[in-house]
Structure 1
Amino acid sequence: MTKRNTQQRRHTILSRVNEQGEVSVDNLAAEFETSEVTIRKDLTALEKSGLLLRRYGGAVALPKEIIASDNGKQDSQRKQAIAKAASSLIKDHYRIIIDSGRTTETLIPELANKRGLVVMTNAINIANRLLSLENEPTLLMTGGTWDPHSESFQGQVAEQVLQSYDFDQLFIGADGIDVERGTTTFNELIGLSRVMAQSAREVVVMVESEKIGRKIPNLEIPWAQITTLITDNNLSDDMRQAIKAQGIQLICAELNQPAQSAG
């Protein structure tokens, strides 16, 4: 078999695992005419993306109960609806930042049909999921100091890297939304989030409705820097009016239906 590029090879490897239940490094290396080191890197990347499990000398398919559990945790209905609405704002060839977080991570599968994307992230799990996309967006990493609390890179190095680029959009989550101030967080490492917002032409906040109205001491991004807030349609009318009064675009995504704009 002729050599394939990395994404095509990994996509085929995943298909082999799902069809056969188990694959070996040596057989894959022979099939793809590449080194065993390269295949091990492929399997490691696929495992980090939650797509298979490594075993000595190869890999096995994920048990069905793990797949069901993971999907329930990471891709809830509300998160999926928010992600679908967010993806509708992204055009081909856009340069975007995706911040660390469970809601922002759900955006990745929605990018599969976008062409020519350049994506910067500070999260390893998001980077790995991006690598599994067949449309092969250009991936940029911030680097920096690893923060185990947020499971992302933070610090001055990451900030300096971001400041050397300009982006069309930032997609970022939040621990809470203070309707008077903006996004709030439990994390005291807010410097990188603010640099991300400064580096992007549009700032899109992705957050579930239960977090709106939750006041947390640390202000992360003020309303003046936010372009759009996307949430689910469980948001109360009072909260909708309070957010729209800040002069931003509010999108309330309908569950199992196309996203609708509330202003």
Structure 2
Amino acid sequence: MTKRNTQQRRHFILAQVNELGEVAVELLAKRFQTSEVTIRKDLTALEKSGLLLRRYGGAIALPQEIVSDEVDSKRKVAIAKAAAELIKDHNRIIIDSGRTTAAMIPELSKNRGLVVMTNAIKVANRLLALENEPTLLMTGGTWDPHSESFQGQVAENVLRSYDFDQLFIGADGIDVDRGTTTFNELVGLSQVMAGAAREVIVLVESEKIGRKIPNLELPWQRITTVITDNNLAPGIQKAIQACGVKLICAEL
């Protein structure tokens, strides 16, 4: 069974569980003329990606309260789509941890030959679920439960060994006078990521712009582009552009 066929089978399984609410291992094995062991592996992989829940003899759809919490907002999706449009086939990119950056991944299904580095397990799992699975690189390092990502010197040293076309990174806030800001004091990896990429693209919702958060993550000099939604006030738009940064306001 090729990797392509595996991904097609898993896409079908996910569609079935979302339509019917549950699926059975035995019936899926007959449908695909494969072993129940293979189907169980499929269900395990889909569960690890947060797409369904395993149950005895099969799997069920995620409870609605979980789905509601996980569905990305319209703003995040619009920003993610605008970001994905900047990616060309065969680009080498970094995708940092975060819900907005992770929302880009379904949009990458049209790209070929991507090489993607990430420090987030959730991002990695979503990338591996793509039919045109990109070459995946992981930073490794020390797990930080706050950001749900790997951080620290090991991760930084790994990144210094590569060069990338683009970094896609989120932010807890943007200080119009200084740059991106964060609640997390672990900013070293973000700065190394920025140093390893020719373009630094920040994905942030408009409501976060203007937040005064103590920890400066990336100063304006390190940032190429800011992508936000179209609810940003004209005065703030001009202030950001005056810092020499390209500004993209995605339509909702």
In 2, the alpha carbon distance for the partners of 1:178 and 1:19 equals 44
Count of aligned residue pairs for this structure pair: 249
- Residues 7 and 136, structure 1, Cα contact 8 Å, conserved in 2: no
- Tell me how large the CA RMSD over aligned residues is: 2.0
Please give the secondary structure, in 1, of the residue aligned with 2:243.
coil
* Superposed displacement of residue 27, structure 1: 5.4
In 2, the alpha carbon distance for the partners of 1:161 and 1:102 equals 23
Alignment of 1:212 onto 2:209: yes
User: Which stretch shifts more, 13-22 or 205-214?
Assistant: 13-22
When normalised by structure 2's length, the TM-score is 0.90
* Superposed displacement of residue 42, structure 1: 2.8
* Superposed displacement of residue 26, structure 1: 5.4
* Superposed displacement of residue 32, structure 1: 5.5
* Superposed displacement of residue 78, structure 1: 1.0
Change (3 A) 1:160 1:27: farther
- Residues 176 and 184, structure 1, Cα contact 8 Å, conserved in 2: yes
What are the equivalent positions in structure 2 for 1:94-109 lying under 5 Å apart?
A: 94-109=91-106
In 2, the alpha carbon distance for the partners of 1:143 and 1:57 equals 35
What are the equivalent positions in structure 2 for 1:1-263 lying under 5 Å apart?
A: 3-5=1-3, 6-25=6-25, 28=28, 31=32, 33=34, 36=37, 38-64=38-64, 66-71=66-71, 75-255=72-252
Describe the superposition over 1:12-68 as per-residue Cα deviations: whole angstroms up to 9, x where unpaired: 3323434554334455556453572x5444323212323211112321223456434
- The runs of 5 or more residues in structure 1 that have no matched partner are 256-263
When normalised by structure 1's length, the TM-score is 0.87
**What percent of counterpart residues are identical?**
76
In 2, the alpha carbon distance for the partners of 1:33 and 1:51 equals 22
In 2, the alpha carbon distance for the partners of 1:148 and 1:41 equals 27
- The runs of 5 or more residues in structure 2 that have no matched partner are none
In 1, the alpha carbon distance for the partners of 2:19 and 2:83 equals 33
Describe the superposition over 1:203-240 as per-residue Cα deviations: whole angstroms up to 9, x where unpaired: 00000111111121111111111100011111112211
**Deviation beyond 6 Å, 4+ runs, structure 1:** none
Change (3 A) 1:208 1:18: closer
Give the aligned residue type for 1:48: K
- Residues 170 and 200, structure 1, Cα contact 8 Å, conserved in 2: yes
* Superposed displacement of residue 196, structure 1: 0.7
